[in-house]
Structure 1
Amino acid sequence: MTEEEIKKVSQLYKVLSDPTRLRILLLLKQGELNVTSIGEELSMEQSAVSHQLRLLRDTHVVRSRRQGKTIYYALDDHHVIDILNQTFEHIKHQ
């Protein structure tokens, strides 16, 4: 592993370590949603949701697409689901 790869893995785990971001990812595991829907599900202000989504997008954990004035968010790829599933599976064994 290169130093750059180690830094990227560390950054990914930092992003995934926040409970709010984990809740967002678990919602997105079910399919793409917009900021309003995520905010309603988590009882959060849209600005707070947008901030968390920006961090997730910047680390390539989620992706976005625009449809008219609405932006929809989804997990970036199946690796994100695999990481979450493996992590929760690990926790169940403790």
Structure 2
Amino acid sequence: MILEAAMLQIQPGLTAEFEASFTKASPLIASIEGYLGHELQHCLEDDHKYLLLVKWRALEDHTVGFRESAQYQEWKALLHRYYDPFPAVEHFTSVNLD
């Protein structure tokens, strides 16, 4: 499993609108093959900051399957206008500590 993490900084005054748009956008990402789940966390210290975590079966499910899909174009149209600056997206895998 791959964990995608993106820190989202939302423009001031647009958090409620962003959350409504995110609700509309969520089924788009959920429809992609290899998608395993996602969550959006709201920062307690900074009202305009969110953490998006998405679980993927494999890295390519995100970087190719989602990013090259029609659903991603809709996702961009719904959400990208809220970001300032545009978020860096990173991918993580579990560390085996045994």
Query: Normalising by structure 2, what TM-score?
Result: 0.33
- If asked which structure has higher relative contact order (CA below 8 Å, sep 6+), I would say 2
More helix by share: 1
Query: Normalising by structure 1, what TM-score?
Result: 0.34
